């Protein structure tokens, strides 16, 4: 049986989403005995070294001029901002909690992309965004016993960082494959991430359990790099409109992995909030976005 190009793209995109969905549970494990700064810089360094070999082997040229500046901005948000915020957050809140809060990410990405491209989100979009934000805040207050904690603020920082970074990268993917953009992002970060990883590395590597090192390797190889190969290939083959919908599964992958991998108790209310957030995101992404007409 031969799969159509669209079906194969959908399959590849789904694999990418599953890889990304395991990120928070693995981060939760890694930061048990590894410094979040090391996890952040180390995973980026690992991905950067692998990407450097790939780019040199394929003789790819680095973006220059304005594209290089955009690449640096995207790298700052995606290889420092998002991993850093989630790394510290996973020391304060469960992975299942983070999964629900990050469920609003696709809506944030759509908002950043619309504003950056000179488009004006419709009233329906903004209503969806406000409802989604209210759901996330309500969930955080419920989980936090009526308080909005530092962990929640860190997760919001992660959402904003990822949305800003993905928007910057989207501009570059108009002229380059997505995997190449991600590869250059982690490579240009090496002069910062490698020294930072060295300075924050554990004094005794043997004292860190193998399971924690395994989680760290997953973050560096899969979450920070290989996952994007599946995701970007899926978008290219299956079409962005169709394949991007698979991102809605990420929250549920995170919740399931939090229960299976981290042994967290995911109650019915958590699932209910997750379903509500994903539903709002789906509605928001389908609302019309009007392009702003600028005077000539």
pLDDT-derived band at 141 (thresholds 50, 70, 90) equals confident
Mean pLDDT of the chain: 88
**C-alpha distances out from residue 264 to 144, 146, 276, Å:** 16, 21, 21
> What is the per-residue pLDDT across 159-172, written as a single tens digit (0 to 9) for each?
999 989 888 888 88
pLDDT for 95: 94
Q: Where are the domains of the chain?
A: 5-291
**Is 253:259 a contact under the CB 8 Å cutoff?**
no
CA–CA dist 102, 96 (Å, integer): 10
Q: Write out the H or E segment, with its range, that includes residue 289.
A: strand 289-291
Q: Report the pLDDT averaged over residues 30-43.
A: 97
pLDDT for 147: 67
Check whether 196 has a pLDDT greater than 70.
yes
Q: Taking the C-alpha atoms of 75, 81, 82 and 86 in order, what is their torsion angle to the nearest 10 degrees? A: 150
pLDDT for 132: 85
Lowest mean pLDDT among 41-45, 58-62, 92-96, 139-143: 139-143
| 3 state SS of 291 | strand
289: phi then psi, degrees, rounded to nearest 5: -120, 120
Helix, strand, coil fractions of the chain, as percent rounded to 5:
80, 0, 20
């Amino acid at each position: 049986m031969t799969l159509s190009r669209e079906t194969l793209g959908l399959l590849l995109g789904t694999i990418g989403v599953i890889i990304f969905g395991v990120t928070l549970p693995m981060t939760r494990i890694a930061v048990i005995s590894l410094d979040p700064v090391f996890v952040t810089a180390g995973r980026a360094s690992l991905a950067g070294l692998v990407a450097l070999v790939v780019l040199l082997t394929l003789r790819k040229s680095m973006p220059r001029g304005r594209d290089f500046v955009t690449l640096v901005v995207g790298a700052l948000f995606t290889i420092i901002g998002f991993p850093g915020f989630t790394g510290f957050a996973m020391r304060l809140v469960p992975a299942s909690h983070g999964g629900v809060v990050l469920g609003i990410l696709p809506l944030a990405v759509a908002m950043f992309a619309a504003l950056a491209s000179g488009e004006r989100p419709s009233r329906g979009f903004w209503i969806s965004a406000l409802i989604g934000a209210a759901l996330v805040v309500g969930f955080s207050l419920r989980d936090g016993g009526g308080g909005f904690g530092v962990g929640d603020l860190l997760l919001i920082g992660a959402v904003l960082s990822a949305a800003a970074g993905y928007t910057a990268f989207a501009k570059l993917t108009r002229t380059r494959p997505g995997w190449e953009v991600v590869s250059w992002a982690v490579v240009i970060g090496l002069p910062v991430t490698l020294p930072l990883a060295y300075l924050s590395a554990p004094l005794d590597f043997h004292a860190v359990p193998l399971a924690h090192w395994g989680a760290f390797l997953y973050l560096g190889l899969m979450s920070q790099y290989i996952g994007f190969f599946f995701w970007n290939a899926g978008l290219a083959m299956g079409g962005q409109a169709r394949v991007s919908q698979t991102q809605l599964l990420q929250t549920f992958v995170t919740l399931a992995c939090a229960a299976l991998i981290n042994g967290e108790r995911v109650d019915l209310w958590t699932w209910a909030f997750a379903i509500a957030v994903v539903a709002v995101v789906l509605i928001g992404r389908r609302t019309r976005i009007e392009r702003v007409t600028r005077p000539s």
